[in-house]
Amino acid sequence: MQTPLFAIDNVNFRYTDGKALDALSLTIEAGERVALLGANGSGKSTLLRVLDALLFPESGDVRFCGELLTEDAFSEDEFAYAFRKRVGFVFQNSDAQLFSTTVFDEVAFGPLQLRLGAGEVRRRVAQTLERFNISPLSDRAPHQLSGGEKRKVALASVLVLDPDVLLLDEPTAGLDPRSQTQLMDMLDEWQHSSADRCAKTIVTATHDLHTLEDMAGRCLVMERGRVIASGSPGEILSDRDLLERGNLVHAHRHRSRHTHPHPGLHRPQV
C-alpha cells in the first residue's frame, strides 16, 4: 500500500480548556478532495492548523508522506521549506492572511520567503495575478479590497507557490454567488494546470452544502474534536439526522406544524 499523504493517529489537542481534538485518527491520500463538515467549534480549523504544522498535538502522531511533523523537524530549514512549499493554507479570516501593503507584495511574499530570485518572483507574481484576473488590484492595499477580492488575493498568494496540498478554511463563507463561482474557477484552474491532476490534494473546512459535491469526493463530519461520520457527499447529504446533528441544516417549524429541513439554504448561526 502507498504511504498516505497525511496520517493522523490518536491526536489530542487542547487550547486552554476542553479538548479541541479528541483522540482523532484519520488518513488522507494524495489526490483526494476531502471536506470537513461540522458545527461551529467542532474542531475543523484546529485540525487544519495541525495538518499545516502550525499547531503541534499534545499527544499522538501526525505524519506527512510518512515523516513525523514535530517542532524538532521544523527547526531544520530544509525540511520546513520543503513542507511549506508543498502545503498551502488559506485562512478563514482573510484580514489576518493579508498582511502586506500591496496586493503585489502579498502575492510575492511566499516566493520571496522561499528565496526565489527577484526576476523569478516578479515573473511568477505577474503570471499569477494575470491568471486569476486580479492584475488590476496589483497596487491596491489589501485592506481597501472588498471581502470577495480579499479572498481571491488570499488564494492567489498561496497558489503562487503551486503547492501540492491546499488546506482551505471556509473558502466560500460570506461570498456572493458570483465570487463563489470565481473562487471555484480559480481552484479548477490551479488543479488543471498541473500535468497530473491527481497530484493535487484539497482539504476544505466548510458549512456550504451547495458546493460540497464540487469540492469533495469524501466528507468527514466532526463533532467535539472527533470524526463522527464519513462518506461521499451524496451519502452525507442524504442523511438528514446527521446533517441536523452537525448543525448543517435547520429544521424549520412552519405554521402547519410539520417540520422539514432545508439542506444548505442556511449557514448555522455564527
Partner 1 sequence: MANFVEHHVSHLMQGWDLIQRADSTGRLHGPLQSLSAPAKIVVAALLIVAVVASTHVWAILGIFVLTLTLALLSCRVVFDLMRIAWLGVFSFTGVMSLPALFLTRGPELLRVPIAGWTLTSTGLHIFLVLLLRAETAVTITLTVILTTPWPRLLAGLRTLKVPSLVVALIGATYRYVILLLESALDMMQSRRSRLVGPLAPRERRRLLISTGGVLFSKSAALSQEVHDAMISRGYRGETYVLGEQRNAPRDWIAMAAGALLSLAVAVLR
Binding footprint of Mg ion on the chain (CB under 5 A): 45
131 binds partner 1 (CB under 8 A): no
Q: Which of 33, 44, 152, 200 binds ligand ATP (CB under 6 A)?
A: 44
| Three-state DSSP class for residue 165 | strand
CA distance 141 to 137: 8
Residue 68: CB atoms within 10 Å: 11
Residue window 69-98: x/- pattern of binding to ligand ATP, with contact defined by CB under 6 A = -----------------------x------
42 binds ligand ATP (CB under 6 A): yes
34 binds ligand ATP (CB under 6 A): no
In the complex, minimum distance from the CB of residue 21 to partner 1, in angstroms, rounded to a whole number: 17
16 binds ligand ATP (CB under 6 A): yes
Q: Which of 43, 57, 111, 246 binds ligand ATP (CB under 6 A)?
A: 43
| Three-state DSSP class for residue 215 | helix
CA dist list (Å): 148 to 7, 151, 199, 211, 216: 33, 5, 28, 16, 22
110 binds partner 1 (CB under 8 A): yes
20 binds ligand ATP (CB under 6 A): yes
**Helix/strand/coil (H/E/C) assignment for every residue in 56-96:** CCCEEEEEECCEECCHHHHCCHHHHHHHHHHEEEECCCHHH
CA distance 231 to 237: 10
- Binding-site ranges for ligand ATP (CB under 6 A): 15-16, 18, 20, 38, 40-46, 92, 205
